[in-house]
Each structure stands twice: as C-alpha cells, then as structure tokens.
Structure 1
C-alpha cells in the first residue's frame, strides 16, 4: 500500500516521503481500516518536526484522525463488521496518511450518517476538543459571551459552531478578510480581523465593558496575554494549544485580582482517563450533526499525493477550515 512516512524530522514538505509498504494486519483488539478520508491537523506538523508531546519512532506515518471502512477485525473485537463506516484516532507510528491503517478497536466510533467522509474525518478531534473545552472544562452557559481565537481554522471554527449551539454569543478572532468570511460562515456573531482591529476593544464594546465569559485559545502567545485584558469577572480561559509557537507565562496575580480561571485542555487524555465521556460526547456531536447545528468546514478535499503540502500549509497558517486527504 502507499503511505506517507517521516524518515527524519523537519518541515513537512521535506520530511514526509510517499512510500510503498506492506498492508498491515490487525492484532488482538485492533481493526484494519481502509482509509476513506484523513483530516489534516496542526499536530501533524509538530510530529514531523519532532516537537509534539508524542514522539513516535522513525519512520512513522503522520495523520492523527480518519474516517475509514472496516476491512477486518482482530481477535477479541466484537461489534464491528466489514464495511462499517467509522471514525477513529490513530495509533502512532501508523497514522492516517495511507491507504490502510490499523487502529485500536476501543477508539473506533460510528461515522455520523449526516456527514460525508471528509466531514466525518474532521468531526472527531476538533469537535471533541471543542465539546470538552466548552462544556466539561468551561461549563459554557446560554447567554454568555465566548471569544474564539483562530476562529477560521479547524479547531476554532468547531468551537464557534459549538458555542452557537450552546446558546452563546460568539466573537471570533481571525487574521485576514478571507478568514473573516469563514468565521462568519461558521456562525460567529462578531468577527475581528486582528490585522485591522484590536479584539480587546471590540470585546469590551460588544459586552458593555463586561468582557468575555469564556475564551477558547488554541493560539497562545500574545492572543492569550491580550485575552486577560478582556476576560469577564469569573471568566474562564481554556488553553487548547500554542499555534503561535509561544507558550505564555500567565500572571497568576492578575488571575487572582480579576477572579478568572485558567483551564488546560489535553483532549487525548480523556481517551485513557475517561473513554466513556468521549463516547457520550460523540453521541452529542452526532445528534448536533443530524440537526445541522454543527458541520465541519471542509475547505479542500485533496488526493493522497498532496498530503505533505497540505500539512505544510496548515502549519504555515495559510488555510481556512479543514483540509482533508482522500486516499
């Protein structure tokens, strides 16, 4: 089968190589899937560079989530039959940028019928992260104001849609007019182009000076620091990631004085610490997709041969919504 593999760490375009390798076989508790769609995520670039919290042995195949079709289940796996359409995270070093992938059966979930393959592949990590961040960590309530950074990206646009579905007023921060359009398409009530406006001033004006009740921040750096200037009394800042490349050093004295909470979110831990919660969230997301309340913004559907370029572009911040590879 064809599979992209990283033989040495570096930028995705240079580090990823399309190889011909044997099709894997599932072991006990595993499932062999034919990959129907693989979503491109920022962590794929970090994996290529050797900068992610997980460092698989070289060579490895990147691609952290997929929509696939069950080919064969390994020993001890029940409830999955050939032909089932499913979504799943991967088990590195065998990632999703390949024609086939073996994944742990415990993480396999039914693909929502309301979504096509590319949309289903894009539903899992980004929307699960948004659901846990907004509901389990921040306890977002109807009528509250949610500030979302990188609101045109895959993770940000998911948070925008989930915020609207929860009854919040959503303010999205983006970089550029094209991304502003994508954030509006996702449902943001107010969109701020950070190249032209100060989001702190916009948030204060939109909330009558109160500030945002919840900040959803996958960017870090200056986005986090300036968010503390427009967080409401008893507000909650959800730290999702650091796509800016800068990990901020929070002023805890400031959190004390303004009575706000800083919440960390590493969604992957729920797969091991509370997998039942992941399945409950999936049921919620499937229901929201069926109602049309959430729908992943897939901006491009690309062939397998374009995977390395797609990962590089997502890393460079030049894309909107989700890029999905279709083997």
Structure 2
C-alpha cells in the first residue's frame, strides 16, 4: 500500500515521502481501517518538524484524524495510532476509541469533525461555560480550529466576533456566520473589538494562536471574561501577567482536549453525540476548503504549516482516479 513516510524531521514538503509499505497489522485491541479521508491538522506539521509533544519513532506516517472504514463496512471516525498515521491507504486505531460517522456528512466532512469540533465544544462549554447572549471572540476565525469555534458559538446563541488575516479570510469568516469580522492586517484589533462591544469587551476569547493575539485578548476581555488558551499556532508562547488578570477580574483557562481520553473519557462520546445532533440539524458543518489526492498530501501539509489555508484541507485517497473516471464518463 501507499503511505507517506517521514525519515527525518523538517519542513513537511521536504521530509515527507510517498512510499510503498506493508499494510499495518493491528495489535491487541486495535482494528485495521481503510482510510476514506484524512483531515490535515496543524499537529501533523509539527510532527514532521519534530516539534509536537508526541515524538513517534522514525520513520512514521503523519495523519492524526480520519474517516475510516472497518473490515465489516462501517464508516467511523478514528485517531490513528502513531507511528502508523492516517496519510496512507490503510491505518490502525484503538477499537474502543472509534466513533460512528454522522450520516449527514460526507467522508471529508466526517474526517474534519472530530479534533477541531471536540476541542471547540470542550473549550466553549466544559471549560468556559459560554452562555447564550454572551460575546465570543475567535482568533484565526477562518482556520480549521477557529471555523469550528465560530459555528459552535453561533449554535450556542453567542454573538461572535471573528479575527482574521486578510480580506479573503474575512469573507470566509463572514460566510461562517460571524456577526463582526476584524481583519488584523488592516484594522486595530483592540480598537475594533472595543467599538463592536461598546467598550465592554468579549466574554469568552478563543485563542489558538498565542503570541500577539493573546496580548490583544488581555486588552479586550470583559469583566469576569474567560480567555481560552487553545494552542500556539503563531509559534510564540506568551507569558501571562497574573497581576493583570487580578486587577481586571478575568480568567485564563487552559484546554488540552487529549487529556479527557484518560481523565474523563465518558465525555468524549457524549460530546460526539452533541456534535452529531448539531450536524444533523445543519447548525455545524465542517468547512472543507480543499480535497486533495493522497499523492498531493505533502504540499497540503506544508500549506497548513504555512498558515495560508482556510477551513480544512482533507486528503482523499483515490480522488484523482475518481475525477479522471468522472471526466471520461
């Protein structure tokens, strides 16, 4: 079978190689899955660079989130067990962690439903306790993680302000349902948020960026507001000024979604049921901006690493062949 292999750490486009490898053999408690679609996440790029908290042995296959098919034909959501990730024709996953794929979504959308939307749901509801009528500010609102938070915020009845970088991403954020869109490249984010909220600020701030975005968040968080620390896509990990949190009376709330798998695993299928219901009602729908063939995965991972994509980029093995068949029909 074909699988992308990383033999040394570096930029994805430089170190990922498409190779013929043996089909993986599932270990105890694992299942073999045919990859129907694999969503590219920022951690896939970090894995290639050797900068992720998990460091699989070399060589490894990236791909931490897929829509897969079991040997008995069930469509499922899975997180492949590294080092045999999902950017391949087949992978393996823990049988107990499989979740049923919602019928309302196609393969690519299913592949993009799990990590980003679970992170958003746990962050907004389990950690920040977002309430209807509150104002939610989402940094990188047109990205994969941010777009999920925007949709979940709207579904919860919040007023959503999206911060993006550039006019094209501003259009995407507006299409997602943001009530206010701020282009950080052409606008003063702090002034724009204060104007949009009548000087009050945002009740909940969803920050997967870190760096300067976090600094801006501390200037526009409302009284008794909550800043959700989701990640550091900017590469800069800020240092919190706790005296500032004290005098402004706001909370800094961390979220490591992966911990729930060991600390409170029952919440993950509960969250999935909520997401399935929201998807069935049309309240959420993963924004898949690109669908690429397995052969084009390295370039796609690089674009995600470079921050030039919107929504989700999903790898669909056999896509080129299907498109050629369709063109010839």
Output the TM-score relative to the length of structure 2. Answer: 0.95
Q: CA deviation at 1:25?
A: 2.0
**Residue 235 of structure 2 corresponds to which residue in structure 1?**
245
Residue 32 of structure 1 is matched in structure 2 by: 32
The alpha-carbon deviation at position 26 of structure 1 amounts to 1.8
Alignment of 1:106-255 (within 5 A): 106-255=96-245
1:12 deviation in Å? Answer: 0.1
Root-mean-square deviation (CA, aligned residues, Å) is: 0.6
Unaligned 5+ runs, structure 1: 72-81
Q: CA deviation at 1:251?
A: 0.4
How far apart are residue 19 of structure 1 and its match? 1.0
Separation of aligned partners in 2, 1:289 and 1:181:
22
Q: Is residue 2:281 matched to residue 1:270?
A: no
For 1:63 and 1:187, locate their aligned partners in 2 and report how far apart those are by CA, in whole Å: 29
Q: Cα distance, 1:271 vs. partner?
A: 1.3
Distance 1:131 1:220 in 2: 19
CA distance in 1, matches of 2:211, 2:224: 22
Query: In the alignment, what sits opposite 1:2?
Result: 2
Q: Is the 8 A contact 2:24 2:84 kept in 1?
A: no
Aligned equivalent of 2:274: 284
CA distance in 2, matches of 1:51, 1:157: 24
Structure 2 residue ranges without an equivalent (≥5):
318-329
Residues in 2 aligned to 1:187 and 1:154: alpha-carbon distance in whole angstroms: 15
Query: Which stretch of the first structure deviates more once superposed, 194-203 or 149-158?
Result: 194-203
Write out per-residue CA displacement over residues 97-137 of structure 1, whole angstroms, 9 at most, x where no aligned residue: 00001100121000011000000000000000000000000
How many angstroms does 1:253 deviate by? 0.3
Distance 1:89 1:45 in 2: 16
* CA contact 2:211–2:235 (8 Å) conserved in 1: yes
Give the Cα–Cα distance (whole angstroms) in 2 for the partners of residues 235 and 90 of structure 1. 36
Q: Is contact 2:118–2:257 with CA below 8 Å preserved after alignment?
A: yes
1:28 offset after TM fit, Å?
A: 2.1
Among candidates 313, 316, 320, match of residue 303 of structure 2 = 313
TM-score between the two structures when normalised by the length of structure 1: 0.96
Query: For residues 113 and 164 of structure 1, what CA distance do their matches in structure 2 show?
Result: 22
Query: How many pairs align?
Result: 317
Cα deviation digits, residues 261-303 of structure 1 (max 9, x gap): 0011111111121111000000000000000000000001000
CA–CA separation in structure 1 for the residues paired with 2:239 and 2:263: 27
Q: State the 4+ residue runs in structure 1 displaced beyond 4 angstroms.
A: none
Question: Residue 70 of structure 2 aligns to a residue in which SS?
Answer: strand
CA distance in 2, matches of 1:292, 1:320: 20
